[in-house]
Amino acid sequence: MNIAIIGAGIGGMAAAHDFVNAGHKVTIFEAAAAAGGLAAGFKDEKWDWSVEHFYHHWFQKDHDILGLIDELGLKDKVFFPLPKTVVYYKGEFYPLDSARAALTFPGFSLIDMARFGFVTVYLRYLAGWKPLEKVTAHEWMRKYYGEKLYRVHFEPLLEGKFGPYYKDVNMAWFWARFKARSTRLGTFEGGFQAFSDLFADDLRRRGVDIRLSTPVERIEPLAGGKIKLHLPGGNSEVFDRCLVTVGPGLLARMAPDLPQDYLQGLLNLKSMGAVVLVMALKHQLSEKGYYWFNLPKSAGYPFLALVEHTNFVSPEHFGGDHIVYAGDYLEAGHEYFDLTKEELLERLLPKMTSFNPKFSPDWVRKTWLFRTAYAQPVPLVNHSQNIPAIETPLEGLYFASMSQVYPWDRGTNFAVQIARKAASQMMTDGSLK
């Protein structure tokens, strides 16, 4: 069979891996100039390793992506440092990424710590997600963790990640974070772009045609279940099957022939965009070696998180630069989608001394700005009822995106899981056997 995949992210390439292993002909169409999707990266002229546009890492429980890497023979290139994550409390930053850290966190009493431990153990080992999707995380955590724990630790995370929707997100989404995450965080030698390039090269060697800088303008269904893809310059190609791995809004624009109910279901899905300012600093920002700062908007910080990448991997891979991300999840239409990188940096600079009193603006050697309108699906109450089917109502057209990995959170691991599930489903449909 002649199969098209739209999107050369990790998920799209994982599906291509399975298709070509089963003997099918595969063409991947990617609008960007490089493979990797939202996990793609860039490299400054003085760096040996790439840096992701949007900060990424793996967890030790990410069995789907780690299993795929093992299949590709690249397991030895994955490593798991133990970085330090800190939260803001009364003007200072404190670790709160382990049971031991919780014992010394000044914002918790002994009763708070006991409550934190018992409720977290319940979520991680005993609770199922389906009952939890019927209630919001805002309501559930206030009730079971208590107002203080919620206000100090959880509410800033929810508010920062989901903005005006934070009181509407269901508890199953938060359950998944406890269930699937680990303290150690993993990355790939050379960065995620190095992995994406190696994966793409491996697929090309096996006959997959990967067409970069080639956006699909329209998906047209044909008689007999075939799919015509309309490409730039008035060109078009016909395929036996097509798997779309981009966001639901983009699928809706590309496939206007979808039935109205499925199309409206795609358009009804809420999501947050992302804005990330990357800085190359001349000096280490956090002298205590902190990697991830969770930043409350209520304290006046202009971003959700500040991430010192070179407290996770060594600055020696970046010509001595200290790489720092300032990132946020934001609604489409937020002013940050229009501001220049210089204007965003101006918003951030007054707060940089709270991470290091010695900081001076001349520490900033260079900056880069990355934005995407689709970065974080927003799961509302009873969200499982809103998940689009992998097999769309258009014969021959299938869909696998971050919006379908629920209750799990978005990321490369579950992108691989949903894409390989879609590929398996496509290959069990009668004519693909």
For residue range 190-219, list pLDDT tens digits in order: 999 999 999 999 999 999 999 999 999 999
Q: How far apart are CA 89 and CA 44, in angstroms?
A: 35
CB-CB contact of 194 with 188 (8 Å): yes
Residue 188: pLDDT band with limits 50, 70, 90: very high
Query: Does residue 52 register a pLDDT over 90?
Result: yes
Mean local confidence (pLDDT), 8-13: 98
* Range from 246-250, 268-272, 343-347, 428-432 carrying the lowest mean pLDDT: 428-432
DSSP for 285-322, written as a single string: S-TT-EEEEE--GGGT-SSSEEEEGGGTS-GGGGTT-E
Q: Which of 110, 42, 22, 9 is nearest to 370 (CA)?
A: 42
Sheet holding 218-221, edge to edge: 218-221, 227-230, 236-239
Query: Does residue 172 register a pLDDT over 80?
Result: yes
Q: How far apart are CA 306 and CA 127, in angstroms?
A: 32
φ, ψ (nearest 5 deg) of residue 308: -95, 95
Q: Tell me the one-letter amino acid at 114.
A: A
Q: How far apart are CA 111 and CA 67, in angstroms?
A: 41
> What does the pLDDT read at residue 96?
81
Q: How far apart are CA 209 and CA 26, in angstroms?
A: 6
Q: How far apart are CA 77 and CA 191, in angstroms?
A: 10
Query: Does residue 107 register a pLDDT over 90?
Result: no
Q: How far apart are CA 360 and CA 350, in angstroms?
A: 10
CB-CB contact of 57 with 185 (8 Å): yes
Between 99 and 155, the higher pLDDT residue: 155
3-state secondary structure of 327: strand
Q: How many CB atoms lie within 10 A of CB 287?
A: 12
Percent of the chain with pLDDT over 90: 84
Show the tokens assigned to 60: 């030790």
Residue 359: pLDDT band with limits 50, 70, 90: very high
Displacement of CA 317 from its chain's centroid (Å): 24
Q: Who contacts 214 (Cβ-Cβ below 8 Å, separation ≥6)?
A: 29, 30, 31, 231, 232
DSSP for 105-150, written as a single string: -TT--HHHHHHHHHHHHIIIII--HHHHTTSBHHHHHHHHT-HHHI
Q: Are strands 2-6 and 241-244 parallel, antiparallel or unpaired?
A: parallel
Query: Does residue 433 register a pLDDT over 60?
Result: no
Q: How many CB atoms lie within 10 A of CB 290?
A: 20
Query: Does residue 419 register a pLDDT over 90?
Result: yes
Query: Does residue 423 register a pLDDT over 60?
Result: yes
- CB-neighbour burial class of residue 230 (10 A; exposed 0-12, middle 13-18, buried 19+): middle
* HSE-up of residue 335 (Cα within 13 Å, Cβ side): 5
Torsion of Cα atoms, 306 then 312 then 317 then 320, to 10° = 60
CATH tag for 2-31+214-268+386-432 (out of 3.90.1150.10, 3.50.50.60, 3.40.50.300, 1.10.645.10) = 3.50.50.60
> What does the pLDDT read at residue 15?
98
Q: Are strands 241-244 and 236-239 parallel, antiparallel or unpaired?
A: unpaired
Query: Does residue 432 register a pLDDT over 80?
Result: no
3-state secondary structure of 172: helix
Listed in order, the ranges of the chain carrying CATH 3.50.50.60 are 2-31+214-268+386-432
> What does the pLDDT read at residue 430?
52
Q: What is the CA radius of gyration of the chain?
A: 22
The per-residue pLDDT of the chain, averaged, comes to 94
Q: How far apart are CA 333 and CA 330, in angstroms?
A: 8
Angle, in degrees to the nearest 10, between helices 10-21 and 412-428: 30
CB-CB contact of 273 with 374 (8 Å): yes
